[in-house]
Amino acid sequence: MLIDIGINLAHDSYDRDRDAVIARAHAAGVTQMVITGSTLASSARAIDLARQRPGTLFATVGVHPHHASEFTATRTAELEELARQPEVVAVGECGLDYFRNFSPREAQQRAFHRQLELAARIGKPVFLHQRDAHAEFAAILGEHASAWRGVAHCFTGSQQELDCYLGLGLAIGITGWICDERRGAHLAALMPRIPPERLLLETDGPYLLPRDLKPKPTSRRNEPAYLPQIAAAVARARGEPLASLARSSSAAARALFRLPQDPHAPAERVENRHAL
């Protein structure tokens, strides 16, 4: 059983067949999913989806650095109201993206600070996005060090960046990037450095379709049913059995996001909990 900690299930590419996507995820052993919010609108949509399947779907609420310039001070209150909903397990995605610079850097930094403060205020972890902005990103996190817990989502960086994030106390989210033989090789080499209690798995669907799926899907759209492919690549890179990685990464996700027990967990485990 696996948990997809980063799926953009509110994305319109799933509008036609969202229920089927969720059913395929369950059939593949992906029993719980955290839906990524990246704007106020998509965050509200993520909450709506989570409400339809309590215990199975959860939401994050945040403003992606691409949209930072739309995130004015008055909208912080709106974001906070959404973030306080019980289905919401993290603030984000938030962070810095200097690769595309769709929003000016100052606006990105301001939005990032505001969301780190919000996470601290409401006691929820952060779901972090960083691209081509490592130094500034780490510096800003350092300023809030006492106040946050979180995950560096879709980690694709260097060993130095990884060690920095681990040193800051972050969990690390690994996507299908690792399944790409051209650009994922350096990432595979880093997998043994991540402590099991800090390694999380995510598809980041509909983006980042794993390149090693066989047979190749006809659509380029990624979906949570492909998470086992990512888990297998990570387990291989760590030299550990898939079952043990599945167990530790699910436990890590549950601990970070404070998810309830999986509703599909075997009955015997539930009885044991009662006995305790």
Among 67, 124, 129, 198, binds Zn ion (CB under 5 A): 129
With binding defined as CB under 5 A, does residue 238 bind Zn ion? Answer: no
- Return the number of the residue (4 or 93) whose C-beta is nearest Zn ion: 93
Return the structure tokens found at 215. 């047979």
- Please, are residues 211 and 185 in contact by the beta-carbon 8 Å criterion? no
Structure tokens at 183: 């650009």
Three-class SS of residue 88? Answer: strand
Shortest distance in whole angstroms from residue 106 CB to Zn ion: 20
Contact window for Zn ion (CB under 5 A) among 124-132, 175-183, 193-201, 245-253: 124-132
Q: Which residues pair with 95 in a beta bridge?
A: 129
Kindly tell me which of 42 and 248 has the beta carbon lying closer to Zn ion: 42
Task: Map residues 77-96 to x or -, x wherever contact with Zn ion holds by CB under 5 A.
Answer: ----------------x---
User: In angstroms, what is the minimal distance from the CB of 172 to Zn ion?
Assistant: 13
Contact (CB, 8 A) for 32 and 59:
no
Cα separation of 192 and 235, whole Å?
9
Query: Based on CB atoms, which residue is closest to Zn ion, 110 or 131?
Result: 131
Q: What is the smallest separation between the CB atom of 37 and Zn ion, expressed in angstroms?
A: 11
Q: Is 266 exposed, middle or buried (0-12, 13-18, 19+ CB in 10 A)?
A: exposed
Is the bond into 206 cis (omega within 30 degrees of 0)?
Answer: yes
Question: Please, which residue, 129 or 238, has the CB nearer to Zn ion?
Answer: 129
Q: How far is the CB of 90 from Zn ion (least distance, A)?
A: 13
What residues line the site for Zn ion (CB under 5 A)? Answer: 93, 129
